[in-house]
Amino acid sequence: MSLVQDTSPAQVDETVAAADRAAPGWAARSRAERAASLRAVADELDRAADDLVPIAIRETHLGEPRLRGELSRTTFQLRLLAEVLEEGAYLHARVDHADPAWPMGPRPDLRRTGIPYGPVVVFAASNFPFAFSVAGGDTASALAAGCPVIVKAHPGHPALSDATAEVVTAALPEGVFGLVHGDAAGVAVLTHPKVRAAAFTGSIRGGRALFDMAAARPEPIPFYGELGSVNPVFVTAAADAARGETVAEGLVGSFTLGAGQFCTKPGLVLAPRGSRLVAALAGGALPPAAPLLNDRITDAYLHGRQRLRDHPDVRVVAEGPDPLSPSVFATTVTALLADREVLQEECFGPTVLVAEYDEESQLLEVAGTVAGQLTASLVADEDDPLAGELTAVLATKAGRLLWNQWPTGVSVTHAQQHGGPYPATTAVGTTSVGTAAIDRFTRPVAYQGFPQTLLPAELREDPASSRVPRTVDGKQEQP
Amino acid sequence: MSLVQDTSPAQVDETVAAADRAAPGWAARSRAERAASLRAVADELDRAADDLVPIAIRETHLGEPRLRGELSRTTFQLRLLAEVLEEGAYLHARVDHADPAWPMGPRPDLRRTGIPYGPVVVFAASNFPFAFSVAGGDTASALAAGCPVIVKAHPGHPALSDATAEVVTAALPEGVFGLVHGDAAGVAVLTHPKVRAAAFTGSIRGGRALFDMAAARPEPIPFYGELGSVNPVFVTAAADAARGETVAEGLVGSFTLGAGQFCTKPGLVLAPRGSRLVAALAGGALPPAAPLLNDRITDAYLHGRQRLRDHPDVRVVAEGPDPLSPSVFATTVTALLADREVLQEECFGPTVLVAEYDEESQLLEVAGTVAGQLTASLVADEDDPLAGELTAVLATKAGRLLWNQWPTGVSVTHAQQHGGPYPATTAVGTTSVGTAAIDRFTRPVAYQGFPQTLLPAELREDPASSRVPRTVDGKQEQP
C-alpha cells in the first residue's frame, strides 16, 4: 500500500506542459552543457547515497551492498553518457557537399544530424530501484539526447522515487525532469499529445497494454518496452561431459542472483538426458530463500512456480524448505515444444527449468522455435559440430549471445545490446542498456542548402569547438 | 481494372515459406556477394529498359523521359547500396575488449554488429512505378541488409510489377524475392508470423490501417510507413519583397512537377498578405492539365480540390480551363489554424494553397502547430530575424528542411532524410530514401565472450578481407 498520493490529472497536465516548455531550451543547450548537467545529477546522487540507500532497503528487500552497487552503476551510466555527448558520434552526422556530377542528377548540399524527440515518458521498473528507475538508464539516455523526461514511478518504491526525483530535479533546469505516481497518471502522460516517445521495463502483460496505447494514439509514438525473456541456455553433450559440475555451479549463481529477479535470469536450460549438470544440481547446495521485491511479485512468482511444479511433464530436481527457496525443475524437450505457454514462459524469481534432449539436433529445433529473447547462452566447445549453426540461429532470436558465460550482470558498455525480438522488446532494433541506448531518443533531420550560420554546429564546415565524427561525402572522418 | 489475378492464400503461404527458407542463406552471404547480386539486378533492369518503359507508360500516364529517368534512379539506388555494403559502416560494428578495470565492474569481451531481420514485405507505391515499387528503394535497402523481400504490387501498374519482378527474381537466389497481388494477399503477408518487418509508401488512410495491423500482431513488427505530408513553405516578408516573382516561378515548377503527384509536393505556402508572390501566381501562366496516375487518384484529387475550392474562407488565385489544370488557392492563416482538417490536409495532385499572414510571427504559430512533415521549406534571408527560431521549430516537425530550395526531386545520397514525425512516417527515426534506409532492416546483436572463429567476420580481431569502420573500446576506428 503506497503512502504516496496518485498524481491528479491537473498535476499531470502541468508536468507535461512544463516539460514541453523546457524542451526547446534543453535541446538547444550545447552537448558540453548537457554533459555537465548529467555529471551534476550523478554527483548529487552519489552525495545523497546515505539518504537514498536506507529508503531503498526498506522498500525493496534488497541488501545494502547490492543497492550501493546499483547506485554506483546508475551514476556511472550518467557519466558514461556525458562522455558519449562530448564525443558526438551518437549524432550520426553526415555531410554531402553539392555535387553537380552526382550520377542521378545534381546533388544539393545536404547535411544530416540527430535532434531530440521532445518530452518522453519513462515507466520505471521494480527490480532495479536505481538503475532502471527514476534516474536509470532510460532517463539518462533520454536526458542526454536532449529530451525532457517524465518518470512514472514504480509503486514498489514510491518514497525512493520521490527522494531520487528531488535530487534529479534540483540538478536540472526547470521542467526538464518530472515525476508522476499512479497507473492513471502514467497512461495520461503516455497518451498526451505533447509526449513524443516512451520507455518501459516490466512485464509482458503490462508492457503490451501500454505499447497498444502508444500505437493507438492519433499520432503513434515509439514505445521502447523491455518486456520479458526466459534467456535459454544451450548445453552441448560434449560440454556437459567435460564440465557439467562447473556449469551447474555457474547456473546456480546466475539464476539465484538477486533472488532470480533479473530480466536476463537464465530460466530455461537445454541439457542432455542423464547429464552431469542435472546430477550436480540435484546433489548440490542451493542458496537460502530470500524475500522478493514486493507482495505482487511474490504472489506472481509463487503462482508461476506452482504451475510449473504441478505440470504433468515436470519433475523436481532440487528445491529448498521454503516456497521462496531456489527451485530446479526438469522436463523433456518434447514437452517443452508441446506446451510453450507454460513451459516457455518467464517465471520471475529463483526458478530454473532444465529441458532434457535425447538428440543434440533438438538444440537446433528449440533454438529455431523459441520466442524473442534478451539473451541466449551457449555452453559448448569451439569444435562442437553444432556450434556454428546454433550461433547463427540464436542470433535471429536474441539481442545478446553468450559463450560459456552467464547472462546476469549486464555490463554498461559501448557494444552492449539489451533488447531482442518481441517480447524481449517492443522495438526490436533498440537497446536499453549501453551507450547505444541514446539512439532511441534522437531522430535524423536533413538540412538542404542552408547557410552556415543557421546550421547546427556539428554540421558546419568549420565546426570549431563542437567537432564530431562525421560521414562526409560517404567517407568516415574523424574530428 | 487489373488484368492480373490476385495471389491466392496458398500461393501467399508458399511465397512466404520460400522467403523464410532463403533467409539464412541470404543473410550468410558475404557483403561482397550481396553487393554483386544488387549490381546484377541493376544491370538486368537497365538491359530490360526497352521492355519495361513502354509497359510503364501504358499503365501510369507518365511520360517516357520521366520513366527512363526514374529507372536510372532505381538502378543507381541498387548500385549505391552495393557500395554501402562494401564499405560496411551500416553494420555499426562495436568492439569492447574485456576490461577488468571497467569502473562498474569487470567488463566482458562484447562485440556488436547488425544482422538482417529476416523476410520483409514491401508495399509498392503508385507514383513511382520504378523507384518506389517492385525494385525500388525499400526493396533495395532490405535486400542489401540481407532480408528476403516480398513485394505487394501496386494495382496501378500490375503488368509492370510482374515484368519487373521477373527480372529481379532471375537475378537473385531462389526465394529471396517474391511478388503478390491483391489487398488480401498483402494483409496475409503482413500478418504472417515469418514476416519480420514491413515498408509502405502511400496514403494516410491505407498506411494507418496496415500500421495498426502490424502493431496488433501477436508479435508486433516494425512498420515503416511513409504516409503523407503537405510540405509547408514559409516565405518571409523580406524574401517576398525582394523576389516574390522568382519564388512564384519556383513554386509553380515544384507543385506541378509530375502533376503534383510527389510525396514532397509543396501543398501549403505561408506568405504575407498582399504579396508579390500571390500577385505573380495570379498573373502568371500555369502548365497545362495532365492526366493523373489512375482513376482512383484522379477521383480523390478532384474531390479534395473541390472541397478546398468550396471552402468559405478559400478564394481562387489561378486555375486553368480543365479540372486537372494546376490550381492556386488562397486563404488566411486564421482560417488555416481554425480548420486543420480541410485546409492542412494533403491534396495529392497539382494544387497549392497559399495562407496569407498579417504578422510575420504567425509563421512561428503555424510552424509550431502543423502535423509531422517530410519536408518544410524556408524562403528567407540569412538576416531575417525569424530565420533561426523558425529553423529550430521546423526541425521538430519535419525530416528535411530546405533553404530557398524546393522539396520535390529527392536526391538519393548519404545525408538524405525522407521521413519525419507522424503522419509523414509511422517510424519517426527512419528514412526511406538515401543510404541510411538500410538501417531499417538490420538489428544489433552482441556477442559476449565468443571465440574468434564463431564471430561474424567484421567483429574479429583480424577481420582480414571484410574490414569495416568500427567503434573499438569507445573510439572510432577506420579499416
Nearest CA in chain B to A442: B429
Q: What's the pLDDT band for B465 if we cut at 50, 70, 90?
A: low
| Class at the top of the CATH hierarchy for domain A233-403 | alpha beta
- Per-residue pLDDT tens digits for A185-241: 999 999 999 999 999 999 999 999 999 999 999 999 999 999 989 999 999 999 999
Chain B neighbors of A415, CB-CB under 8 A: 94-96, 110-112, 446, 471
Residue A79 has pLDDT above 90, yes or no: yes
- Res. A1 pLDDT band, cuts 50 70 90: very low
Q: DSSP assignment of B136-187, as one string?
A: SHHHHHHHHHT--EEEE--TTSHHHHHHHHHHHHHHS-TTSEEEE-SHHHHH
- C-alpha A216/C-alpha B421 separation (Å) is 15
Active site residues of A: 226, 263
| Residue at A12: amino acid letter | V
Could you name the CATH architecture of A9-227+429-470?
Answer: 3-Layer(aba) Sandwich (3.40)
Give tens-digit pLDDT for B100-131.
Answer: 999 988 999 999 999 999 999 999 999 999 99
Which pLDDT does position B479 carry in this prediction? 83
Which pLDDT value is given to residue B34?
A: 98
Q: Do A421 and B212 touch (CB under 8 A)?
A: no
pLDDT for res A466: 65
Give tens-digit pLDDT for A102-136. 998 899 999 999 999 999 999 999 999 999 999 99
Query: What is the distance between the alpha carbons of residues B179 and A313, in angstroms, rounded to a whole number?
Result: 44
Cβ contact B402–A211 (<8 Å): no
Catalytic residue (choose from B59, B263, B346, B356): B263
B273 near A CB under 8 A: no
Does the distance separating the beta carbons of A118 and B422 come in below 8 Å? Answer: no
Q: Is the separation of the CB atoms in B226 and B374 below 8 Å?
A: yes
Nearest to A274 by CA among A308, A317, A326, A230: A317
pLDDT at A463 over 70: no
* Residue B23 scores a pLDDT above 60: yes
- For A196, nearest residue in chain B (alpha carbons): B421
Across the interface, do A411 and B469 touch by the CB < 8 Å criterion? no
B1 confidence band (pLDDT: 50, 70, 90) = very low
CA distance A308 to A343: 7
Question: Distance between CA B66 and CA A446 in Å, rounded?
Answer: 26
Inter-chain residue contact B429 with A478, CB threshold 8 Å = no
3-state SS class at B223: strand
Chain B contact present for A296, CB below 8 A: no
Q: What's the rounded mean pLDDT across residues A354-367?
A: 98
Task: Dump pLDDT digits (tens) for B357-405.
Answer: 999 999 999 999 999 999 999 999 999 999 999 999 999 999 999 999 9
Q: Flag whether pLDDT at A2 surpasses 80.
A: no
| Domain extents in chain A | 9-227+429-470, 233-403
Tell me, yes or no, if A423 comes closer than 8 A to chain B by beta carbon.
Answer: yes
Confirm if A274 and A236 have CB atoms less than 8 A apart. no
Q: How far is CA A276 from each of CA A47, A235, A271, B26, B474, rounded to the nearest angstrom?
A: 49, 11, 9, 39, 41
Maximal C-alpha separation, chain A:
78
Interface test with chain B among A205, A391, A448, by most B beta carbons within 10 Å: A448
Q: Which amino acid, B463? A: P
Do A66 and A74 contact (CB within 8 A), yes or no?
no
- ipTM given for this complex: 0.97
Q: A472 phi and psi, to 5 degrees?
A: -110, 120
Q: Is A28 on the interface with B (CB under 8 A)?
A: yes
Of the candidates B111, B21, B108, B10, the one whose C-alpha atom is nearest the C-alpha of residue B447 is B111
Is B263 part of the annotated catalytic residue set?
Answer: yes
Residue B466 has pLDDT above 70, yes or no: no
- CATH for B9-227+428-470, options being 3.40.50.2000, 3.40.50.300, 3.40.605.10, 2.60.40.10: 3.40.605.10
Which 3 state secondary structure label does DSSP give B355? strand
Contact A131, A210 (CB under 8 A): no
Percent of chain A at pLDDT > 70 equals 99
Give yes or no for B385 touching A (CB within 8 A).
Answer: no
Q: List alpha helices for A200-332, DSSP H.
A: 204-216, 237-256, 276-283, 295-309
Q: Are B305 and B297 in contact (CB under 8 A)?
A: no
Burial label, A461 (beta-carbon count in 10 A; 0-12, 13-18, 19+): exposed
Q: What is the pLDDT of residues B123-173, one digit of tens each?
A: 999 999 999 999 999 999 999 999 999 999 999 999 999 999 999 999 999
- Cell representation of residue A360: 543434440
Q: Is the pLDDT of residue B247 over 80?
A: yes
Adjacent-strand bridge partners of A445: A113
Closest CA to A42 of A135, A159, A138, A181: A135
Report pLDDT for B463.
63
Whole-number Å distance between alpha carbons of A69 and A46: 11
